[in-house]
Amino acid sequence: MASKPKVLLTSNNLSKKALDLLRTRCSLEVCKSSKEGGSLTTQDIVNSVSGKYAILCHSGNPINEQILKAAGPSLKVVSTFSVGYDHIDLMSMKKYGVRLGYTPDVVTEPVAEIAVGLVIATTRRFFEANRELKTGGWKEWTPGWMCGRTIKGSTVGILGCGRIGTSIAEKLMNFKVSQLLYTSRSEKPEVKALGGQLVTVDELMERSDFVVVAAALNDDTKFIVSRERIATMKSNAILVNIGRGQLVDQDALVEALKEKRIRGAGLDVMTPEPLPLDHPLMSLDNVLLLPHIGTTTYETEEEMAMMTVQNILAAVDGHSIPNEVVF
């Protein structure tokens, strides 16, 4: 009887149902960190990857040439528990003939929900108000105390209007915004139907009261929210980022927030992750930070885990990977 293909897991904290399904066809090994309680390093994966048929990873595990070379010719597929794959060295994947599976579409709604939540919580100062309540700052109500700004009548800009950006736009239009601006490679009929106007990145940054960054990270979009573009934002503007930290010049954003050249920011993604406790963003009152929880719902993680496993099983069966990155 032929032995089962070996799969290296960078985490076993996934859906039991999904892992049990994978275990019926494959032999599973969980990669261990060399430091107790520490994150996996490249060397940890290198030490465990030899002879594996597949790697099941997530966005916190960079897969580079060193790992692919150490795996040897047995490695046929990497399946990532994420919609983004900027942590995967695509050139090396192509060089070594390794296929890549990912989990698109499933994260659209939960990430859009987080984006809308950040817009509301930042503009209405939820975290600041909660802190005042818990630390005795709430003595009495007086005019002007904890005032935020409403979304109604504002100009909202969606920077990167793919599936997630479109869902964000649909949700925010229910708040009776005055204008909806968006950027995309081409006009989006479904966003145009909402009253959306396709504009340049520069125009969006200059005109928007709320800038929601929802672009995918690649060579063209890295630091697309540049120092120069942050400098053109309205003084009452709020920037929300649910894409990737490196879409934004974070140092320039910190300066703008410190100097109150913009009103605030709501970030579910940042650089690096986790953000060090002594990072300047941590001490600012006009920024709301979340620990990259955009996809973190029970339903989403269950579906993502099944998709990640099914990508591997399809490869084992010699079939097309249902959600494959073609490069």
Annotated catalytic residues are 292
Which residues are 29's β-sheet partners? 8
Residue 169 near residue 191, CB atoms below 8 Å: yes
Residue 73 near residue 97, CB atoms below 8 Å: no
* CA gap 161, 168 in Å, rounded: 9
Residue 60 near residue 13, CB atoms below 8 Å: no
User: 44-52, long-range: CB within 8 Å, 24+ apart, which pairs?
Assistant: 45/8, 45/10, 45/70, 46/70, 48/8, 49/8, 49/75, 51/6, 52/6, 52/7, 52/8
* CA gap 150, 153 in Å, rounded: 8
Residues 6+ away with beta carbon under 8 Å from 120:
126, 151
CB neighbourhood size of 309 (10 A): 27
Of 213, 215, 217, nearest to 87 by C-alpha is: 217
- β 324-325/99-101 pair status: antiparallel
* CA gap 15, 297 in Å, rounded: 12
Residue 296 in tokens:
């973190």
Of 222, 256, 221, 220, nearest to 239 by C-alpha is: 256
